Amino acid sequence: MNAATHKIAQLLMNNLCKCLDIKEFTVCGKSRERDAVVARTIFSYQARQWEMTYVDIGRILNRHHASVIKYVISYDDKYHFDKYFQRSADAVMNH
């Protein structure tokens, strides 16, 4: 991961943590709590919008790249059918 990608990832993570009131170690940790999974999904989606690779996103989140692919693919369904997820995503995207 180059310096620019790292800077973008840090900005995305800081914004995400601030908007969702969640700690970075929770997002990057092993927790399977809903808030952590929602945060990882939103972060993965945003990072892909910035053309980060699945492997780089996985390294940041301490996840396998296949998990990141699942997060990105599931974003649209979660956004349309899960109101909690939708409110969380909107809070982060509109900040």
Q: In this predicted model, what pLDDT tens digit does every residue of 5-43 receive, in sequence order?
A: 999 999 999 999 999 999 999 999 999 999 999 999 999
- Model confidence band, residue 95 (pLDDT cutoffs 50, 70, 90): confident
Q: Nearest Cα to 39, choosing from 55, 54, 53, 25?
A: 25
pTM here? 0.96
| Separation of alpha carbons 78 and 45, rounded Å | 12
Please determine, for residue 1, whether its predicted confidence score (pLDDT) is greater than 90: no
Owner of token pair 């601030």: 18
